[in-house]
Amino acid sequence: MKVYGRRRGCRLGLGVFDGYHRGHQALGDRATAIMTIFPHPEAVILGRQVPYLTTLRELNSMGLPLMILRFSTMVSQLEPDLFLDELWHQIQPTGLVVGEDFRFGKNQAGTLSVLEAWCQRRAVSLDIVPLVTEGNEPIKSSRIREFIQNGEWDKACHWMGRPYRVMGRVIRGDGRGRLLGFPTANIRVGRGKVLPPLGVYRCQVNVAGGVPALLNCGVRPTFGGGQVQLEVHIPNQSLNLYGRPLTVDVGPMIRPERQFGEVRDLITQIREDIRQLLAGE
């Protein structure tokens, strides 16, 4: 069992942390470090690719020391006590923090009772965090992904409990935004990242100490469409961001993406989008 970024003697939050939503944050608030299980167990055990609300890079930016447990078929077959003994050998945590639905080990035979007994033998404290709920429903990454897929962006952000973070590197686009008078930074994100519904968003980017910007997530239907792209326009700024990593904290949607009959109509709409952004509307 391989663990990257090991920190001994910590109060360790254990989980998949594929979204770092309000439920995950409740664990993080009680831990001094967190360990994510990567790749997602469903991808390894069921062969089903699971899109991530929060990538490893984004999770690492959340403020807590991060460890990564490299999950594999071999790890999935470890008996619960052996899994915990391996964890102890590598990290020797002073405490563990888990959700009340936490299960581990071969066939998920590692229940909370098994975990409690092991912690008593090792003199390790155990903090079991109740599930965070919304309307009597537990907050889960799978439900937030459904909200985004269904275009329920406001609900997804409420369940996340924070702006939706996107981190990627700025790449060269076709320069159309500059020709229109609104230069954009095109962001390449990692595969498997869940993108917002197609539309224009107010956001905050990590340049010049943090500035408001517009994010367009779309296929640019006015110009014939294509693959989904993320483009950021920073009003009243002239910056060369090519090749730089960029952090974008995405806020509310200003409007859905739509096709315009004339380019001048698109330009008029972008000016209105910028006005709303700067006016805080």
Instruction: List pLDDT tens digits, range 93-104.
Output: 999 999 999 999
pLDDT at 29: 97
Give me the CATH number covering residue 63. 3.40.50.620
Quote the mean pLDDT of the chain: 94
* Domain range enclosing 85: 3-138
Query: Both 118 and 67 in a single domain?
Result: yes
What pLDDT is stored for residue 158 in this prediction? 97
Q: Are 220 and 129 within one domain?
A: no
3-state secondary structure 185-246: EEEECCCCECCCCCEEEEEEECCCCCEEEEEEEECCHHHCCCCCEEEEECCCCCCCCCCCEE
When pLDDT is averaged across residues 227-236 and rounded to a whole number, the result is 93
Question: 281 pLDDT exceeds 70?
Answer: no
Strands 137-138, 95-99: pairing is unpaired
Domain containing 175 — which CATH number? 2.40.30.30
Q: Is the whole model's pTM more than 0.85, yes or no?
A: yes
Q: Is it the case that residue 208 has pLDDT exceeding 90? A: no
What's the rounded mean pLDDT across residues 113-126? 97
Residue 257 one-letter amino acid? E
Residue 149 inside a domain? The answer is no
Residue 222 has pLDDT above 70, yes or no: yes
Kindly state the helix (H) or strand (E) to which residue 87 belongs, with its residue range.
Answer: helix 80-91
